[in-house]
Amino acid sequence: MNLSFVFMASGFGKRFGANKLYVPLEGKPLYRHGLECLMETAVRLRQEDGHQVRLVVVSQYRKILEDGERLGLETVYNGASDEGITASLRLGTEAGGEDGDIFLFFVADQPYMKSATLTEFVRGFIKSGFGMGCVCSMGKRGNPAAFSRLYREELLSLRGDKGGSVIMKKHPMDVWSMEVSENELKDIDVQADLDREQEQPGKMQAGKRWNNE
């Protein structure tokens, strides 16, 4: 099965007051935690399950794109980041290719997601037979989210800062979800979130170099 993982790192961090993706958290930039989790998951699914996995980094930031290239990942410049997350979804879907069976979207400001959890989610989604899937905590949906190739054209046609949730709302009976811990869905949205995490740091995932070949 062809899996396309899209790491979306184009946000402006307006509520944070600066580019939060670069701020240090436990010895590395914030975005790196999620990226390494995604890389580790991709390696596991490739080696243990035999899937073909491509990992695409979508960003408006040169440093993040250059970092992705050094890691052997595909990178896509987002020149329409003022549209919000929708532009990243479209660009990531396009980069994932017409032969992609599943498109998984991962946000860059969610540092506590574990690779084991993400792997379980992807495997569960594949087995579910549903066309869309997301993680949730106590019934509240969150990221990452996955879409089968059936929804590729709808992803490509998205406009406005609405995100993939608009497609899920349109087809509510075709959405599978997996419950995860609330901690893993934490995101860094404002400075107070970062301050709180630095006072009580969590355990981050160690990543490895990986390429799409």
Count the Cβ atoms, other than its own, within 10 Å of residue 173. 6
Whole-angstrom distance, CA of residue 207 vs CA of residue 101: 25
**CA proximity to 119, closest of 100, 106, 108, 138:** 106
Asked if omega into 144 is within 30° of 0 (cis), the reply is yes
Say what the pTM is. Answer: 0.87
**Average confidence (pLDDT) over 105-114:** 93
State yes or no: pLDDT of 141 exceeds 70.
yes
Q: What is the pLDDT of residues 150-171, one digit of tens each?
A: 999 999 999 876 789 999 999 9
**Average confidence (pLDDT) over 10-22:** 69
- Residue pair 148/105 in contact (Cβ under 8 Å)? The answer is no
Side chain identity, residue 23: V
**CA proximity to 7, closest of 56, 54, 67, 49:** 56
- Residue pair 29/22 in contact (Cβ under 8 Å)? The answer is yes
- Residue pair 48/116 in contact (Cβ under 8 Å)? The answer is no
- For 172, the token pair is 């509510």
- Residue pair 189/18 in contact (Cβ under 8 Å)? The answer is no
Counting beta carbons within 10 angstroms of the beta carbon of residue 93, is it exposed (0 to 12), middle (13 to 18) or buried (19 or more)?
buried
pLDDT band at 26 (very low <50, low <70, confident <90, very high): confident
- For 150, the token pair is 């059936």
Proportion of the chain above pLDDT 90, given as a percent:
66
- Domains detected in the chain: 1-192 (3.90.550.10)
Whole-angstrom distance, CA of residue 101 vs CA of residue 79: 26
